[in-house]
Chain A
């Protein structure tokens, strides 16, 4: 299968503090790919670099065939419509209702009629498991789990090929978290998405991920599927995965 994201020799630093020192990874089409590692290892930073919120110091990131370092304005704009991003806290626009949050990219980027947009919004709301009466609420009026679902619906608005999730289950109760995992799997199968996520939730990692990359000590210490993960000698991984498997 084709590589959708390729990261080569990535170096990132904040001032004197080096976060990534020569990262390499590749994400294949159709898989659910997890970025794992101890806190402060730069998982979220890597995710932010992939969605062009932050620049790396050197190295290259290729997303859907576009080299992010040399991307033109127009090209970047097109690329942004091909992916969806779910932020940790949802980041719904607080001045808009849920349905308007989801409709916003459709209104901006397409010339669909209002009736058509309403229908698409209804579909996205139901696919993520929200009730249609929730659509008229403002983000401040709904719970954390609903916010995540609404934000997921917004990131799916343009039918992206690629979805970035930053700690999708953090801050959710275990039941909602499992529901969310099931939802992600369902969406992958339904819509053929490629999903890149940062996660700390072990259950969610085992339930959803096809492959993982583990970042520790500024480098990738493991990349591949979860079956061989115990053979790797790394302090973080042994504490993280060790207990669970015994």
Chain B
């Protein structure tokens, strides 16, 4: 079904729905005493991380291991990359070792797509620069669908540093593709003027938005943006676009709050919000593993696990595992 997973732009509603449905089967594996299926036995998945990211790398590693794939972790620090090896050479070295899929995290936008030019292996984008982080959006869609029961028609507010956020691009496109009404909000310095072309609306007025928000998605705001004059101080940012107890109270009762982590408590979010009952932040982390299992399975599992049937026929991993 999926050759490479590079961007939410590449997925239509049917494909997203299929990934989420498949993930539901995998979610329940985590509840078993033996949290493992043999689906990807004999396949090798490489986590190629040019940026530090403990949570994403760990999530992918667990996802691959629960599918019985062999995993190897390759981080730029302390490796041949720190000795000046190019992405092309690194990629071709990994391919020569026979990896079937490369999960890449890179600080440069487009690095995952560039990687596809160098290797035959499947490429899964685990975050590239400011560009895309598709599995983050998929796990967010999964989490909201699980808690709210639907995606179409929801009012989603994505708040914060949209300009520098790969999460924002993936999340806005993902929710819009699934039929939600998306509004992005933040200081004008951090919202691209062309954001409406992503299928969303733009406002700078968070308070005007809260009462009609079903899903409040808070983006990480890095403190270094302050020194680059995108806003004057984290205190002022928190006052105008941060969410604390008061703003949380103005959300509708059923509204949920998401954050991709890691949080800057005191800037975009306060401790009360992060720990509120309607904050789904730990559920996002839990679901991340199932969603990444789903993506790896759909990219790698189909041909080998069920050669007689197209993978799109297998609705859940349970069925596949049962065969």
A and B: interacting chains: no
- Chain A residues close to B by CB (< 8 Å): none
- Chain B residues close to A by CB (< 8 Å): none
